[in-house]
Structure 1
Amino acid sequence: MFNLNVTVFMPSVLTLIGIPGLESVQFWIGIPFCAMYITALFGNSLLLVIIKSERSLHEPMYLFLAMLGATDIALSTCILPKMLGIFWFHLPKIYFDACLFQMWLIHTFQCIESGILLAMALDRYVAICDPLRHATIFTHQLLTQIGVGVTLRAALLVAPCLILIKCRLKHYRTTVVSHSYCEHMAIVKLAAEDIRINKIYGLFVAFTILGFDIVFITLSYIQIFLTVFSLPQREARFKAFNTCIAHICVFLEFYLLAFFSFFTHRFGFHIPPYIHILLSNLYLLVPPLLNPIVYGVKTKQIRDRVSKIFYSKDPS
């Protein structure tokens, strides 16, 4: 009996199969995905233009929103072009290093978005619970430091995932990735070696960043609600609460999709693989699509500016 070694040593190219089980309809799935991407790109770009051009919107809440919009554009752009290449043009090949780079970008931008959502919650906490000190606390210098801080936190915490894959995983059982983009666990599971450290570190990053952020966001909003409901005037309570509705919607859509996708992927063994992949795709595409819509509908200043752009009449 011969013991054939069928592992591949340090593959240079991987193959992304898209959505396993739905290969025959991937062309049609790509159409709504492309529509979501174009809408997200347009909505977030419009948001950035409005905030940049309108000086009255150069406040912490809107500057954080601009950071969120830029992150959403970058996040969706990391996955959609390659995904549509798989769905529409049958281009599943991707260089191994390019795949790792895409993985690093995706998870980094996810962590950056979580950090920005935390900063937005803290901004609303100070604005409502300690309004007299809001302008002195949330200065432009602090906003810059927060932007740099959440970016470095994400980039540095995600980077070891690449190092662990490159340094520890040398032999691979297959080069076929059962996913539509380069996701950390989808790559790690290809390895023929012990992947426990890679899995543990991936969980550590997820719970360190998302878990830390969601705890402090929750605590901030508990304090906000206590402060709002203690206000003597009903009109004041309504106004204070109304400024938080858009933020709450964005927080819920991001974290509910994140945790639902996370737990389904790791514990939903009885769920078909294509459900896992679709949920992962929606988790990355739905927030960039909905965020500018939510803020455009709920924020009067942005709504008025959009109306001026699209509905203003030429006086001549």
Structure 2
Amino acid sequence: MPPSNLTHFDPSSFILMGIPGLEAAYVWISIPFSMFYFVGMLGNFLVLFTVGKEQTLHKPMYLLLCMLALTDMATPTFVVPKALCIFWFNFKDITLGGCLTQMFFLHAVSLMHSAVLVTMAFDRYVAVCDPLRYNTILTNLRIAKLVLVGLIRAVLFILPLPLLLSRQPFCSNRFIPHTQCEHTAMVKKSCGDISANRAYGLVLLFIINGVDLTLIALSYGHIIRAVLRISSKEAHQKTLNTCTAHVCVMLMYYTPSLISNLTHGFGQRIAPQVHIILADLYFLVPPMLNPIIYGVKTKELRDKMGKYICKL
């Protein structure tokens, strides 16, 4: 049943229910939400500030890291403010246009994030397998072009999602048990034929993610083969260390995404609260940990960031 304390509800809008069943704990839930968001924004801003200030860091690897930081700042920004409005003020209504806009940006930024990870895998492949030509192959201009291609791809592939949904008739039950407008949740509220929406969603999930993961796997397949050819164990370790941060960031991104999708598709016995919390953690935890991972694993960046932190 919808909450009785909702007032001035526009019947043409939607209601984001937050985390149904945990309403009494909203104040406590908002604390980690706020902390994760603040730490993530601060860490990623520090990465952007450091790379922008230091001319020695104006290299392809760090430019890609800046793009990763931008996507990590954008992702929770499209989720946390509305979630906190639900937790703190019980502001749950959202217009159809607002819902479709949030859904578009969430999925587009996610796809852009994946494209950046693919480009970073290519960067590591060239650095390990063809180091003498690294500066020739991966120029800043080429990195900018690859990032632009990733951005165009994200917009073109995600734009049909809100366009298809905007043509759908929606039922009177517009209560969405979530903290944000997800494509799957909105499709369930439609009273029309959703076969095209479901089919396109599956195409995005399996084709796009499949292509990205395949390209990353191919890059690391070549990297592993190149490492195995090195006789020195010390050289082995040094070479693998250059990829550690990227591997950790990939695991932080793809693993929660895979778990969330699997629980939605096959975890019917899992409590709805678990689905919602897993989705929220997917938007909050990786953006918070990524700058920490790169700050710890990348000595040059760590030293430069440390210099600015000490000045605070």
Range into which the TM-score falls when normalised by the shorter chain: over 0.9
Compared CA separation, residues 121 and 11, structure 1 to 2 (3 A): farther
How many Å apart are 1:233 and its aligned residue? 2.2
Cα separation, 2, equivalents of 1:86 and 1:175: 16
Cα separation, 1, equivalents of 2:286 and 2:170: 36
Compared CA separation, residues 200 and 11, structure 1 to 2 (3 A): farther
Residue in 1 that maps onto 2:243: 244
Q: Which moved more, 1:300-309 or 1:28-37?
A: 300-309
For residue 73 of structure 1, give the secondary structure of its aligned residue in structure 2.
helix
Cα separation, 2, equivalents of 1:252 and 1:166: 34
Compared CA separation, residues 24 and 144, structure 1 to 2 (3 A): same
Q: Which moved more, 1:46-55 or 1:232-241?
A: 232-241
Residue in 1 that maps onto 2:170: 171
Q: Which moved more, 1:216-225 or 1:93-102?
A: 216-225
How many Å apart are 1:141 and its aligned residue? 1.6
Size of the alignment, in residue pairs? 303
Residue in 1 that maps onto 2:60: 60
Residue in 2 that maps onto 1:180: 179
Compared CA separation, residues 210 and 11, structure 1 to 2 (3 A): farther
Residue in 2 that maps onto 1:199: 198
Cα separation, 1, equivalents of 2:85 and 2:67: 28
Question: Structure 1 vs Structure 2: percent identity of aligned residues?
Answer: 44
Cα separation, 2, equivalents of 1:194 and 1:269: 23
Cα separation, 1, equivalents of 2:300 and 2:11: 52
Cα separation, 1, equivalents of 2:234 and 2:139: 29
| Kept in 2: contact 1:12–1:97 (CA 8 A) | no
How many Å apart are 1:171 and its aligned residue? 3.2
Residue in 2 that maps onto 1:120: 120
TM-score between the two structures when normalised by the length of structure 2: 0.94
Residue in 1 that maps onto 2:188: 189
Residue in 2 that maps onto 1:81: 81
| Kept in 2: contact 1:11–1:96 (CA 8 A) | no
How many Å apart are 1:12 and its aligned residue? 2.9
How many Å apart are 1:85 and its aligned residue? 0.4
For residue 214 of structure 1, give the secondary structure of its aligned residue in structure 2.
helix
How many Å apart are 1:173 and its aligned residue? 4.0
Cα separation, 1, equivalents of 2:112 and 2:126: 21
> Per-residue displacement from partner, 1:170-189 (whole Å, max 9, x unpaired)?
13241111111010011110
Give the aligned residue type for 1:258: S
> Per-residue displacement from partner, 1:256-307 (whole Å, max 9, x unpaired)?
1110111111211111101000010011111101100000011101111122
> Per-residue displacement from partner, 1:131-160 (whole Å, max 9, x unpaired)?
112111111221111111111101110110
Q: Which moved more, 1:200-209 or 1:31-40?
A: 200-209
Residue in 1 that maps onto 2:30: 30
- The answer to whether structure 1 residue 18 and structure 2 residue 18 are counterparts is yes
Mapping of residues 208-227 of structure 1, within 5 Å: 208-227=207-226
How many Å apart are 1:11 and its aligned residue? 5.7
Give the aligned residue type for 2:104: W
Q: Which moved more, 1:141-150 or 1:301-310?
A: 301-310
Give the aligned residue type for 2:72: D
Residue in 2 that maps onto 1:298: 297
Residue in 2 that maps onto 1:6: none
Cα separation, 1, equivalents of 2:37 and 2:143: 28
| Kept in 2: contact 1:171–1:193 (CA 8 A) | yes
TM-score between the two structures when normalised by the length of structure 1: 0.93
**Gapped regions of structure 2 (runs ≥ 5):** 1-9
| Kept in 1: contact 2:50–2:308 (CA 8 A) | no
